[in-house]
């Protein structure tokens, strides 16, 4: 991507490893912008909601009055959620149930792979990729249900871990924790075509 056509992609920077996402987006050819307020969403081509702790993130979103602005942004522009970000994008959240942006027709169970000690690195076969993706799972959620308009791009132990619906995409793993930029590039393709 030449600098003349670099897309501006925000990274929600309230909690979680937003810096790693910023670096991954830059490697993939985008111009990352940290988002902490509604004003920061202006002029963005897309947004990444990073991992972290989804209930803490929800509280911070409410304090900053960002829930409705994020929902509105998602009606117009692509959002990519990883781990806690996947939980926030889901229409249905279990274990326990909690509020969400409801932008994707998926049901997600929080911390379904177990505690931090259960974290793992796996190799995934993803649609359209000729080499496996390295996937870092940290207290990851499991996508328990996908709506009929949701496309599964990769699975781990039979469960969907990388899915897309329309302009949005979620991963239950952390692609920003590897040097492989392919997942972020997949999102940037959505950003480029959603103009």
From 83, 164, 168, 184, active-site residue:
83
From 21, 109, 168, 174, active-site residue:
174
pLDDT reading at 17 higher than 70: yes
Contacts of 142 (CB under 8 A, 6+ apart): 108, 109, 112, 113, 159, 172
Query: Which tens digit of pLDDT belongs to each residue from 47-73?
Result: 999 998 888 999 999 999 999 999 999
Query: Which tens digit of pLDDT belongs to each residue from 89-143?
Result: 999 999 888 889 999 999 999 876 655 546 788 999 898 888 999 999 988 899 9
Cα separation values, 108 from 9, 31, 121, 174, Å? 25, 30, 20, 16
176 counts as catalytic: yes
The C-alpha atoms of residue 134 and residue 121 are separated, in whole angstroms, by 7
From 21, 168, 176, 184, active-site residue:
176
Question: Residue 13: enclosing H or E segment and its boundaries?
Answer: none
User: Which listed CATH number (3.40.30.10, 3.40.50.880, 1.10.1510.10, 3.50.30.60) goes with 3-194?
Assistant: 3.40.50.880
Query: Which tens digit of pLDDT belongs to each residue from 30-40?
Result: 999 999 999 99
């Amino acid at each position: 991507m030449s600098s003349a056509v670099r897309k501006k992609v925000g990274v929600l920077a309230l909690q979680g490893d937003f810096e790693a996402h910023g670096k991954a987006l830059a490697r993939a050819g985008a111009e990352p912008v940290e988002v902490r307020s509604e004003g920061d969403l202006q002029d963005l081509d897309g947004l990444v909601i990073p991992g972290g702790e989804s209930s803490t993130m929800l509280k911070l979103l409410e304090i900053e009055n960002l829930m409705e602005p994020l929902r509105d942004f998602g009606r117009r522009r692509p959002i990519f959620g990883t781990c806690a970000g996947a939980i926030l994008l889901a229409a249905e959240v279990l274990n326990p149930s909690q509020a969400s942006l409801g932008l994707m027709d998926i049901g997600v169970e929080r911390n379904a792979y177990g505690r931090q000690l259960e974290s793992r690195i796996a190799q995934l076969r993803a649609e359209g990729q000729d080499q496996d993706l390295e996937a870092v799972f940290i207290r990851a959620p499991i996508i328990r249900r996908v709506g009929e308009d949701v496309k599964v791009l990769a699975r781990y132990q039979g469960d969907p871990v990388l899915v897309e619906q329309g302009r949005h995409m979620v991963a239950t793993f952390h692609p920003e924790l590897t040097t492989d930029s392919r997942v972020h590039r997949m999102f940037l393709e959505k950003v480029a075509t959603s103009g």
